[in-house]
Amino acid sequence: MTVFQAFVLGVLQGLAEFLPISSSAHLALAPWVFGWQDPGLAFDVALHLGTLATVLWYFRDEWKKLIASAWTIVRQRRIQTPEEWRVIFLIIGTIPGAIAGLLLEDAAESAFRSPALMATTLMVMGVFLWASDRFLPQSRAIGDMRWRDALFIGIAQAFALVPGFSRSGSTITGARLLRLDRTSAAVFSFLLSMPITAAAAVLKVPDAVREGVSLPWW
């Protein structure tokens, strides 16, 4: 990979990450379209670290409350406030994706990156996202969530191991199927993205550093 190619993929990641269109699929398809070498999942995760920092900064006040609430849960051994319950929901929602990532790591790096599969999943994801938003009422807010809702959204997030099943698209669709309003679905989706992205980076970035990355300028 060249510096120019890395720059192009970085721009693509920045444009696609905050839309439910699967930035991972676009990052995998772009090298295939242009005849470049596939940079692999480790590079994908490294790019997601940049957007993770952006999301963390944007939701910094929310995360301060969540961290304080988590400390309260540990110290007082009780769960009462909406923020404390949200901490629990984020933990529950992270578990399915973490388990799926550990079990399907090899497939995510090889079989799941087939262009035909990604094209198919992009279309399927688009249909589900449109249908859930178009036909289901918006009757619930994030404060109305229960642990079963968090688990369902977490299972939806696990599908994002397959490029084309957008992580944000899957989680927002899952939340909309549970009749959460658009704002609540989007907020919980982006909060849920941070633990799983950080965990993936912990596993993958050290491997990329050990292997070394050659970046000619062109």
* One-letter amino acid of 58: Y
Domain coverage including residue 126: 3-211
- Position 217 in a domain: no
Confidence band, pLDDT 50/70/90 cuts, at residue 178: very high
218 assigned to some structural domain: no
The per-residue pLDDT for range 5-16, each reduced to its tens digit, is: 889 998 988 888
The domain tally of the chain equals 1
DSSP string of 83-141, one letter each residue: HHHHHHHHHHHHHHHHHHHHHSHHHHHTGGG-HHHHHHHHHHHHHHHHHHHHHS---B-
* 216 within a domain of the structure (yes/no): no
pLDDT of residue 23: 83
The confidence score (pLDDT) of residue 112 equals 73
Q: Contact 98/196 with Cβ under 8 angstroms?
A: yes
pLDDT in tens, 82-126: 999 999 999 999 999 999 988 887 776 666 778 888 889 999 999
